[in-house]
Amino acid sequence: EQIRKIYTKQITNWSEVGGDNAPMKVFTRPRNSGSEEALRELVMKDL
């Protein structure tokens, strides 16, 4: 759930998940990469 919220910008600061008070920088792979496809299918599938 936290990963999903990070990638949908509902969580934007590391302090929201137990880290330091610092903004997150989210990076993604190209849409046709296997890891990006897996993220979409397994984590983001219901969005």
Q: Would 10 be classed as within a structural domain?
A: yes
The 10s digit of each residue's pLDDT in 1-47 is 898 899 889 999 999 999 999 999 988 777 788 888 888 888 787 76
Q: Would 38 be classed as within a structural domain?
A: yes
Q: Would 47 be classed as within a structural domain?
A: no
Residue 21 has a pLDDT of 99
Residue 46 has a pLDDT of 73
Q: Considering its fold, how many domains does the chain have in total?
A: 1
Entry pTM? 0.70
Closest CA to 22 of 34, 11, 33, 31: 11
Q: Would 9 be classed as within a structural domain?
A: yes
CB 31 within 8 A of CB 13: no
Q: Residue 17's domain spans which residues?
A: 2-42
* Average pLDDT of every residue of the chain: 88
